[in-house]
Amino acid sequence: MLKVLEHPLITHKLTQMRRKECGTKDFRANLDEIAGLMAYEISRDLPLRTVDIETPVSPYTTKELAKDIVLVPILRAGLGMVNGIANLIPTVKIAHIGLYRDEETLEPHTYFEKYPKNVKDAVVMIVDPMLATGGSANAAIDMVKKQGAKNIRLVCLVGAPEGVKAVEEAHPEVDIYLAALDEKLNEHGYIVPGLGDAGDRIFGTK
C-alpha cells in the first residue's frame, strides 16, 4: 500500500526544503517537523493492549501501546527524521543501517548495521527522506527481514514512481508512506523536482 500524506503544513514545509536557497539549519528544522507530522499518520493503526491502572481518583481499565516500535534510519539522511518521530512515539527503540549509493552504478553499499533485541516482534519503521531508485530501501528491508522483522513500514519524504514500483515489486507487504510523490528520476538517479542530495543538505557536506 502506498499512502501519500497530504496536509497543508507538510506541503508548506516541504516547499521550503525544496527551495535551493534553503540553508542547512532551516532544511533540518523543516525535515524534523514534517517527520513529526507524519508520525501521527504512520502510527494510526499501532496495536493497543488493555491495562488496569490507578488514576489519582479511581482504578481504570484503559489501553496502551502493545508492541515495541523500532525506528530504522538509513544513514546518513534518515537520521534527520528520527527526532521528529521518536519525540511522539514514546516506546521507540532505534536501529541504524548504514548505506550509501554508488554515484556511478546507483547500487547501495552497506557499511553498518545495529539493532535492538526485539526486531522480530516489533513494528519496524524504516526512515529515509529520499526514495529514488528504491535500491537503498529494498536493501534495508532485506536487512531487517534477515533479523526476523515481519511488520515493516517504509517512511520517506519524497518518492519517485520508479522507487515506489521497485519496493512494491520486491516487498508487496510493506506499507510505503510519503509526504510527496514526485514526477520521475533524472539521468543521474536524482528525483525531479526533488530537493537535491538530502544527506548533503542536512549535514552541509558536498
Positions marked catalytic: 101, 105, 197, 200
CB of 139 to ligand PRP, least distance (A): 8
Does the annotation list 91 as a binding residue? no
Identify any residues that bridge with 96 across adjacent strands, giving them in sequence order: 114
Q: Which of 53, 141, 142, 48 is nearest to 91 (CA)?
A: 48
Q: What angle is formed at CA 140 by the lines to CA 149 and CA 5, rounded to 5 degrees?
A: 90
Whichever of 31 and 39 has its CB closer to ligand PRP, that residue is 31
Check residue 84 for interaction with ligand PRP (CB under 6 A): no
CB of 189 to ligand URA, least distance (A): 6
Written as nine digits, the cell of 172 is 508487496
Within 8 A by CB and 6+ apart from 90, the residues are 65
Does the annotation list 55 as a binding residue? no
Q: At 141, which helix (H) or strand (E)?
A: helix 135-146
Check residue 132 for interaction with ligand URA (CB under 6 A): yes
Check residue 130 for interaction with ligand URA (CB under 6 A): yes
* Partner from ligand PRP, ligand URA, none contacting 128, C-beta within 5 to 8 A by type: ligand PRP
Q: Each residue of 11-27: b (16+ CB within 10 Å) or e?
A: eebbebbbeeebeeeeb
CB of 107 to ligand URA, least distance (A): 13
Interacting residue ranges for ligand PRP, rule: CB under 6 A: 74, 76-77, 99-101, 106, 108, 128-137, 163, 189, 197-199
Interacting residue ranges for ligand URA, rule: CB under 6 A: 130, 132, 189-191, 194, 197-199
